[in-house]
Every structure is written in C-alpha cells, then in structure tokens.
Amino acid sequence: MTDTHALPRSIPEKQGVSPSSVSSFLEEIENRKLALHGFMFLRHGHVVAEGWWKPYRPNVPHAVYSLTKSFTSMAVGFAVQEGLLTLEDPILSRFPELETPEIRNNMGEIRIKHLLTMTTGHESDTTRFGVTPDFLNHRTELRVGDRSDRDFVRGFLELPIQRAPGSWFVYNSGASHVLGAIVERAAGVTLAEYLQPRLFDPLEIANPKWDRAPGGGNTGGWGLWLTTEDIARFGQFLLNKGEWNGVRILPAAWIEEAAAFQADNANVPEDNGETGNIDWRQGYGYQFWRCRHNAYRGDGAFGQYCIVMPDQDAVIAMTGGLSDMQGVLDAVWRHLLPSMKEAVPVSLDPSENDRLTRKLATLELGGANASAEGGWSGAKKYRIESNEQGLQEISLSFEGRECVCQWTDSRGTQRLTCGLREWNAANSLSGRPVAVKGWWRDTATFEICACQPDSPHRDRLTFRFEDGTVGIHHEHFSFVCHQHDFHGVAVAE
C-alpha cells in the first residue's frame, strides 16, 4: 500500500463529527488506562481522526487474532459466489478420508452454515492453548482438539458435540479453522492465496502475514497481521456492502447476510464490567458480532476491532492490548456515536480541532508522564532467590538516557536496553522485536515496559529498591496474564 492510494483524510467537522467528542473518547481511554495501540475513525469514507500510542506505529502490521474470522467469512462468500460450495453442504463431505463411524455419528448433521454461525452443537470452544512462562520469554501454542499430532481438522472432528447443530451458540475458533480448511480444499489454494486477488489486492492490502497450521494451510480462526489502515479499508468495504472504489467485489447480499442476526448468543455469560459484556450478546452473523445501535463488528482478542456503523456511515478500526474489551466499546458508544451529527459540516471550532490534533500526536502507552530521573545512577546487580521461572541474577545499569537490564536464567544471559525518555525499539526477545522504555515512579521504584510492536503482548517489571535488596514484580500480558514476584540481594561488583 502506498501513500498515494491512502484513504482520503478530512477534518472532523467537514464530515459532521465533533472533534471535542473524539478528544473526550481519547481522554477516557487514557484515564481508564485502556491499552489501545492504534485508532482510525472514518465517516462518509474519510479518515477524520487517527493516532497510534507509542511505541506502536501505523506502518507495522499488528496481530489481529480472531478478527481473522471475518476475513475467512469473506473467503466463504467468494467460494459460494464461484459455486465451489454451499452453506448447506455437510462438512464431512469435504473430508471423506477422515470419516469413521464414530465421526459420522457425531458430526454427520453439521453443515457449513453451522461453522459460520458458531452453532455446531459444542458447549465449549474446541481450541486449546498452552503458555510456557519463562522469564520475559513467554511462548503460546494454539491448537484445535486434543490430538498430540496437532492435526487441527481431525482434532475438531473427534471432539463430541453435546447439542443439536443449529440449536446452541458457543464461540468456537476451531469451527472457524475448519471453515477455512473447507475453502482451501474447494479452491485448491491457501486462504491467503485465495483472498489475495479477490480481496486484498482490490483493497490494496499488500501480502499480509497469515499463520500456517501444522498440517499446512492458513489458520482460519486467527493468525492474520494487519495495519490499522488495512482494518479500516476492510471496514469501509463492508460498509459499502462489498464495493470498493465503485467496483463490485462481493454481492451485497453476502455482506448483508454476514452482518445480520443469524444466531442468538444471549447465552453468553455476563462479566462484572460496566455493562456486563452486553455487546457480546446482541446476536451473531457469519463470523461477525452484532452490536448495540445497529452496528456490527469483527473483533480479535485484546482489542482488535473493525466496527461498522451503517446508520452513521462510519467505521472505527482499532488495535490494542486490552484486558477490558467491553470498556472500549462502552467508550465508543458514549463519545464517538453521539459525535456524529446529521448536519455536514458541523460548526467549525479551530481550537477544538487543534486540541484533538495535539492529542492524537502525543498518544503514548503508560509512562509518558513519568520521570527519567531517579534515586540512583550507575549499576547494581542482584542475586535472585530460587524461583520457578529460573531467574538467577539481574542487574540494572543507568547511563545517560538509557538503562541496560541484564539477567541470567536457564536460557543463559540476556539483556534489554531501555530508553528513559523515548522507546528503544532496537531490542529482541526470542527473535521477536521488542520496544522498551523505563521510568521512575519515585526515588525507590523503577519500572520497565517491554512491548512487541506487532502484537498485544507486553511485559512490565517493577523494581522496588530497599537497603541492599530488590523486590521485582513481573506482569506478562497475554492469553493468560501471568504475575510473578522475585526477591534479590545486592551482589558486590
């Protein structure tokens, strides 16, 4: 994607949007410490507000997790359009070599439409994941079913269903993976290869990275990496009901079906949040969630959002590292929904537009206002008491505008270089790029935040220094938010 073909930009007022309401949205995100990474707000086909929280950047593709499902839904739409399959096809007809009497008895009634609408009859998700909690090197492995050989399709087919297909909604990433595998079999190419000329090329989404399953093919329920603008383009394509730049790509009827109420998901349990995850109980389409206010969305874990608002002719694209996904949706309805007026343009207020522009230009993940100066300088090393993560020794060395954090564990000696005033992106852990920043909370408390710029995952280390000892609190934010405490004693250099 080149800048010459970027989505058109406009000031909010010209598209009937109040800039003060957008500023209020961003202020709530900041005040509630809701960890968004990227944000784009489109109205009438124009970007009216966009920003990225440092260290995240607009040109770095971000893992979008289950937002991938909505792209798999589009692949199904193309396959239906091309006569490669129908929604009434039994799924076993696509995997005849895997059929056994037990699988036939269990899965014989499941149709492609049941995969699309998450109504396979399972009472729990068929995906499994495991986390290896090494210090600052957590690794997550996703799979479908319980097979040791990680055959995702066979693993799905072997899991028993408890209810009649079509009668019960349960969010099921394994179903989405099998859906993608069916398209791949019908088309003879991977999902990425199938969608490249049909969807990605017209929308100018350039060769997105897409995870592969162990047996080959792309993962249908997760695994895409997209920029915020890629998500925004997809949302505008959906808002246009399958058209892009005036060219029909998919039938409007497919987009309408995919976005419509196809399955009742009122059985999704409430949580303890402000509105009890109400936007997860408004109905489900073809790999899309219905929302309040006649909106719908594709979304992925930790706050990867493509929100389509037909009544307002608007799209909101977001990436994030959230633990409270409903909280961000509540803020969208509280601030962005009422920001859109019927009159275009709304009254121009240069001061409010300038305020929004400044806000968008200075977004930063936690620590933006903390101090680069602290209680001590130089270097200190600590021997760590025995612990399950195998951390043996850790040192901090302050010099100029950097702090070097070095540690030794069962994997050897590793290090991160933290910027004290700016994020230092020249780091890596387990071969993945990491941006790191450190700051002093007070004269005896130093924090380090390490973020993967292409994913929601991050680590935070809090050091509390006292009388030749250090207490370390480690938080790893991922599918499971791990927290560990360590205690160390100073070692003379």
Q: Is residue 370 situated within a structural domain?
A: no
Q: Are residues 355 and 474 in the same domain?
A: no
Quick one: 92 and 222 in the same domain? yes
* pLDDT at residue 279 greater than cutoff 80: yes
Average the pLDDT over 261-290 and give the result: 90
Give tens-digit pLDDT for 118-131: 999 999 999 987 76
Q: Is pLDDT of 2 > 50? A: no
User: Of 315, 333, 361, which residue constitutes the final position of a domain?
Assistant: 361
The answer as to whether 372 is a domain residue is: no
Closest residue by Cα to residue 110 from 160, 76, 66, 148: 160
The range of the structural domain enclosing residue 437 comes to 378-491
> Are 343 and 455 part of one and the same domain?
no
Residue 366 lies in a domain: no
**Same-domain status, 454 and 344:** no
Residue 371 lies in a domain: no
Co-location of 82 and 172 in the same domain: yes
Same domain for 356 and 397: no
Model pLDDT for residues 194-244, shown as the tens digit of each residue: 999 999 999 999 989 999 999 889 999 999 999 999 999 999 999 999 999
pLDDT of amino acid 131? 67
Whether pLDDT at 328 is above 90: yes
Domain match, 357 and 478 both: no
The domain tally of the chain equals 2
Residue 195, C-beta contacts closer than 8 angstroms, at least 6 positions apart: 71, 74, 75, 78
Averaged pLDDT, 7-30:
96
Q: What is the CATH number of the domain that holds 386?
A: 2.40.128.20
Residues 350-368: what's their mean pLDDT?
Answer: 89
Residue 386 CB partners (closer than 8 Å, separation 6+): none
Whether 334 is in a domain gets the answer: yes
221 in the same domain as 76: yes
Rounded to two decimals, the pTM is 0.95
